[in-house]
Amino acid sequence: MKNILSILFAIIAWIAVLTQYNLMIENRVTPIFETTIRFFSFFTILTNLLVAIYFSLSLIKTRQGYMSIINKPGTLTAVTVYITIVGLVYQVILRHTWEPQGAQKIVDELLHSVIPVLVIIFWYLFEEKKSVTYQQIPKWLIYPLIYLIYILIRGRFSNFYPYPFVDAGRLGLSKVLANSAGLIVLFICISALYIKIGKFILKIK
């Protein structure tokens, strides 16, 4: 069951990410190299790529070496937190900012709605919730913090910011940092919520 779902969810995630890249290349307004960099500047893309990689590598049953992190308790929860943030931010803040059509609309829903739900279901079914602790949360924050630093530095030189709430050129750095602090708090809260829910699920089973 777990392997079947891993294969299915990996295929869906890879198709969504690769199709989105193809659509961006087809509709690019910048050279391919710049378009590719911008593609990998979206937290949505990076996180869905992370999901695709996670499900692909979760099929490898190893508890030793650098690959072992995939099967360690907490890794799935971290991935679930990241993709949950993708879904929440899109539904609450970004959905009303554009109206995709055709293939773009389908991919948009896959990346922001379908895949987050699939990952949450997988987390519910297969995460080793007993071994996931609140002490792991600081490690989970490394990825979004590195991402934030990257887009702010690159945006300073390229004037391209992937999301309106981190557009330092328009909002100013202080406002962007305030928005970013709010998102980090959201990351912490969602992380703690998943751990709390996990403990609750264990109690009622």
Angle at 130 between CA 125 and CA 133, to 5 degrees: 115
Q: What is the DSSP string of 55-85?
A: HHHTTS--SSSGGGGGGSTTHHHHHHHHHHH
Mean pLDDT of 11-21: 96
pLDDT (tens digit, 9 = 90+) per residue, 56-94?
988 776 555 556 677 788 999 999 999 999 999 999 988
The pLDDT-based confidence of 180 (bands split at 50, 70, 90) is very high
Q: How many CB atoms lie within 10 A of CB 171?
A: 16
Q: What angle do CA 74, 94, 158 make, to 5 degrees?
A: 90
Model pLDDT, residue 1: 83
Confidence category of residue 19, pLDDT binned at 50, 70, 90? very high
100-105 contacts: CB < 8 A, separation 24 or more? 103/19, 103/23, 104/23
Res 67: pLDDT: 64
Radius of gyration of the chain (CA): 18
**What is the predicted pLDDT for the residue at 61?**
66
- State both tokens at 158: 């390229």
Task: Report the alpha-carbon distance of residue 133 to residue 90 in Å, rounded.
Answer: 28
CB–CB of 137/152 below 8 Å? no
Give the pLDDT of residue 202.
Answer: 78
Q: What is the pLDDT of residues 36-58, one digit of tens each?
A: 999 999 999 999 999 999 999 88
* 159-174 confidence digits (pLDDT tens): 899 999 999 888 998 9
pTM of structure: 0.93
Yes or no: say if 65 and 171 are a contact pair by the CB < 8 Å rule: no
Task: Determine the pLDDT at residue 39.
Answer: 96
The string of pLDDT tens digits covering residues 102-161 is 999 999 999 999 999 999 999 999 989 889 999 999 999 999 999 999 999 999 989 899
- Averaged pLDDT score across all residues of the chain: 91
Dist. CA 129–CA 181, nearest whole Å: 28
